[in-house]
Structure 1
Amino acid sequence: MRIGPATPPLMGDTSVFDFPEMWINRKIEDILEYRWSLITGIKIANVKKPEDRLIEELRLLAMSSKPVDIELALKKPPRPFMTFSEQEPPQGPRSPLANMKVIGNPSIPRPVEKVYDDTDLPAFDAVVSLYESGLPVSYIQKIFSTGAFGIKKQRRLVPTRWSITAVDSVLCKKLIKEIKEYNPLNEILVFRYRVHENLFIAILYPAKWSYEWMEAWWPGSTWNPGLDNVVIEGDYEDYHGRTSYPSIGGCYYASMLATLEYLKRIKRQATAILLREIYPGFKIPVGVWFVRESVRAMFNSPPVLKTDSLDEVLEFLEKETKLRSNRWFSSSVLLRRIRFTRPIDEFLKKD
């Protein structure tokens, strides 16, 4: 596995360069500039032996809640290119690492020190503990990738793309257990959010917990660069959850996490159906953080529709989406299931 520190050639507070929670209201060009400015020194490491000196240094850097000054010695000038991933933020120039020296003092929050020192604490519990202490999800994901959590003999390095989804899914499991203790909503809530040639819509239906994430990619967008038709993909789970990894990838858990955070905030459970339309012009994969933070932003605004009528939801989709209501309903498992079950008022009378 390739590991290494990433740093901009700057002094001072450079938090924004590697802090997705700060990016949702920034231009895509600005985010790419942040990532282009990060120079990474690369070294091959054994994932099962996370006790190497360099790994220990990287772990300290990851656990620091504030940027730490370091010196990098590279074997050759960094290659001037950027790599993109569906899961993680863009990665900038890199070069084989000769040596690294920490010249600043890491600032490690007490909750992080506590879970790191507890070598009998399972990684699941460590992630939940840090999240409940109020630490940012992206910060927890970064520490997770360095193998700083879990029972001592089980600690190992985790590729960044896996650590991102692992943390999201752990937190989803925890929050699902909590929101299942709440009563269902008493009406349909619909939310909408537009950003960077993307449309996000959430339909929260008054029923027991289930979840669906759907994406429609227009020709000329990131994952549909050359086809003539809109590509629609999605996955769902019922009350009892999934037994396999969703084919739609890490966006499934990133969007679910933001949805569960909202339901916990209002102390309700619901059947949640989230729809995303991606239009031409959104051509660069920037990572699942974009979905998580967009859905969080959507739920930070009041619902645009409150209703007891599924027909009103259909009318809303017909007016607000380019795919239109019939296409969304024919593509969504949970929307079809709701449409052909008993009316809301019958459900509420019984429950």
Structure 2
Amino acid sequence: MKPGQLCSQCKGKGMCGLPRCPVMERFHSSVRVKPSDSYMGGAPSVFVGAHGYPKVTGGPLLIGESDNPEIWVEKAYTIDDIVGVRSRTIRGNTAGASRGADAMQEIALSATPLDVEVAFTRPVAFDLRFDGTIAPVGLTGDMRKIDVLDNAKTPRPVDRAVSDTDLLAADAVWDLYRDGVGVHQVSQLLSAGLLGKQRKVVPTRWSITATDDMLGKACKTVVSRNSALDEYLVFAATLHGNTIVCILTPGDFRYEMIEHWQAGSMWGGHAGAIMTDGESRKGKKGYSPIAGAYYSARLAVLDYLRTAGRSARAIVIRSVAGSYWAPLGTWVIREAARQAMAQPPTTFEDLSGAKAFATAILGNSTWEHHSTLLTEIKTQKTLFDYFS
């Protein structure tokens, strides 16, 4: 296996054989919290681990500031800013995620961070874990006791969705999103076991991708009824070293994502690494090898098409530079794609112009050789072709 492919699959699991992952080392150097067996302060969200599922550990994330990625983007946090926040964040654990479940649910329900008082069984310790989907957390501690000192400020749409035990989880997620509840809180509610008919605590990394997937499917149902674009559009934006380029072409909805870790980037190794995946009008088969990034970018594209009242075939290229030195989670891809789709697009009359422009933004044509949808668009005619 090539070095770039190894890094892109390892993501800090130690497959390279080095004593400590260089990325973990930089997180470790950012820790500024003295070990303590107690905590009093803000609990902005909850975290449920996936290891050992269905017997999981979970609890609050403890930090005296917001951990909502949408706010990080709004405040223009740098990677170092975010790493600083996450390195100081404590993951409070309770075995089985049962003791302290009421506290977890109160925290997930609240639109604002709640103050809590926590007693740990021993001083908190550095225990960094990341997989590319979740935003990593630097510290962890097993909780002996937790007391919530505030009352949850629950938005009305959240109260309605949580109270309706006959509402399917997918419908609850869609209703919340349309009512203006952000993806971050929706995934928190799902993780804390507060949505759907058969409610259970869900690992956070699963709830993040499930939320993006369910919202994407709901958007796709709307988009499938829209009329097709009558031109070729290219959107682009860069966030934290992640450049997103989206090409929209006339036709019914198709989607393909190409993820390119540049040579020398975090998971790119010396030669770089590329992964691709896509879906037809009928939908996605199986879980994407690109993991959560696939669903996060798809949601942003479908949101644009839903709002614009159009359908299209979409090719999304994610190019990751060396400046993206810390795996911050799939929210980066979602927000980068949202920023791209929010920009006025560059318009072209044909595919060749759109393709050339996308290649110019990316700085190379590597993506073209890995695109199946590009070949399909070139060879298959649409009604637009017959009337142009």
Q: 1:182 deviation in Å?
A: 0.8
Equivalent residues of 1:220, 1:281 under 8 A apart = no
Consecutive unaligned residues of structure 2, counting only runs of 5 or more, are 1-55
2:82 alignment counterpart: 31
1:164-198 Cα deviation digits (max 9, x unpaired)? 01111111111000011110111000011123222
Structure-to-structure mapping, 1:322-337, within 5 angstroms: 322-324=363-365, 327-337=366-376
* Closer/same/farther in 2, CA of residues 82 and 53 from structure 1, 3 Å limit: closer
Structure-to-structure mapping, 1:299-314, within 5 angstroms: 299-303=341-345, 305-314=346-355
1:270-305 Cα deviation digits (max 9, x unpaired)? 0011001112232221100000011001111101x2
2:91 alignment counterpart: 40
- Supply the RMSD in Å over aligned alpha carbons: 1.6
User: In structure 1, what is the Cα distance between the partners aligned to 2:108 and 2:384?
Assistant: 51
- 1:245 aligned to which of 287, 293, 301: 287
Higher strand share goes to which structure?
A: 2
Moved over 6 A (4+): none
- 2:273 aligned to which of 228, 231, 237: 231
- 2:319 aligned to which of 277, 285, 301: 277
Structure-to-structure mapping, 1:153-168, within 5 angstroms: 154-168=198-212
* Closer/same/farther in 2, CA of residues 194 and 185 from structure 1, 3 Å limit: same
User: In structure 2, what is the Cα distance between the partners aligned to 1:196 and 1:67?
Assistant: 26
* Closer/same/farther in 2, CA of residues 348 and 147 from structure 1, 3 Å limit: farther
TM-score, length basis structure 1: 0.90
1:102 alignment counterpart: 148
Equivalent residues of 1:330, 1:336 under 8 A apart = no
| AA matched with 2:350 | S
Equivalent position SS for 1:23: helix
**2:152 pairs with 1:111:** no
User: In structure 2, what is the Cα distance between the partners aligned to 1:320 and 1:115?
Assistant: 42
Q: 1:342 deviation in Å?
A: 3.3
Q: 1:128 deviation in Å?
A: 1.1
Percent identity, aligned pairs only? Answer: 33
Equivalent position SS for 1:178: helix
2:185 alignment counterpart: 139
The count of residues paired between Structure 1 and Structure 2 equals: 331
**2:251 pairs with 1:207:** yes
User: In structure 2, what is the Cα distance between the partners aligned to 1:62 and 1:343?
Assistant: 46
Equivalent position SS for 2:129: coil
Equivalent position SS for 2:123: coil
| AA matched with 1:342 | K
User: In structure 1, what is the Cα distance between the partners aligned to 2:59 and 2:387?
Assistant: 55
Q: 1:84 deviation in Å?
A: 2.3
1:315 alignment counterpart: 356
1:49 alignment counterpart: none
Equivalent residues of 2:110, 2:155 under 8 A apart = yes
Equivalent residues of 2:279, 2:285 under 8 A apart = no
* Closer/same/farther in 2, CA of residues 316 and 116 from structure 1, 3 Å limit: same
Equivalent residues of 2:249, 2:351 under 8 A apart = no
* Closer/same/farther in 2, CA of residues 348 and 211 from structure 1, 3 Å limit: farther
| AA matched with 2:380 | T
Q: 1:142 deviation in Å?
A: 0.8
Q: 1:53 deviation in Å?
A: 5.1
- 1:120 aligned to which of 163, 166, 186: 166
Q: 1:306 deviation in Å?
A: 0.5
2:38 alignment counterpart: none
| AA matched with 2:252 | K
1:4 alignment counterpart: 59
TM-score, length basis structure 2: 0.82
Equivalent residues of 2:254, 2:280 under 8 A apart = yes
User: In structure 1, what is the Cα distance between the partners aligned to 2:287 and 2:272?
Assistant: 24
**2:61 pairs with 1:19:** no
1:320-345 Cα deviation digits (max 9, x unpaired)? 22332xx3222001111112233885
Moved more, 164-173 or 195-204: 195-204
Equivalent residues of 1:72, 1:99 under 8 A apart = yes
User: In structure 2, what is the Cα distance between the partners aligned to 1:312 and 1:343?
Assistant: 18
Consecutive unaligned residues of structure 1, counting only runs of 5 or more, are 47-51
Equivalent residues of 1:192, 1:201 under 8 A apart = yes
Equivalent position SS for 2:102: helix
* Closer/same/farther in 2, CA of residues 216 and 347 from structure 1, 3 Å limit: farther
Equivalent residues of 1:220, 1:283 under 8 A apart = no
Moved more, 289-298 or 274-283: 274-283
Equivalent residues of 2:239, 2:332 under 8 A apart = no
1:198 alignment counterpart: 242
User: In structure 2, what is the Cα distance between the partners aligned to 1:213 and 1:86?
Assistant: 16
| AA matched with 1:206 | P
**2:263 pairs with 1:219:** yes
* Closer/same/farther in 2, CA of residues 53 and 45 from structure 1, 3 Å limit: closer
2:227 alignment counterpart: 183
Equivalent residues of 2:261, 2:267 under 8 A apart = yes
1:136-157 Cα deviation digits (max 9, x unpaired)? 0111001110111111xx2111
Q: 1:251 deviation in Å?
A: 0.7
Equivalent position SS for 1:314: helix
Equivalent position SS for 1:263: helix
* Closer/same/farther in 2, CA of residues 71 and 270 from structure 1, 3 Å limit: same
1:79 alignment counterpart: 125
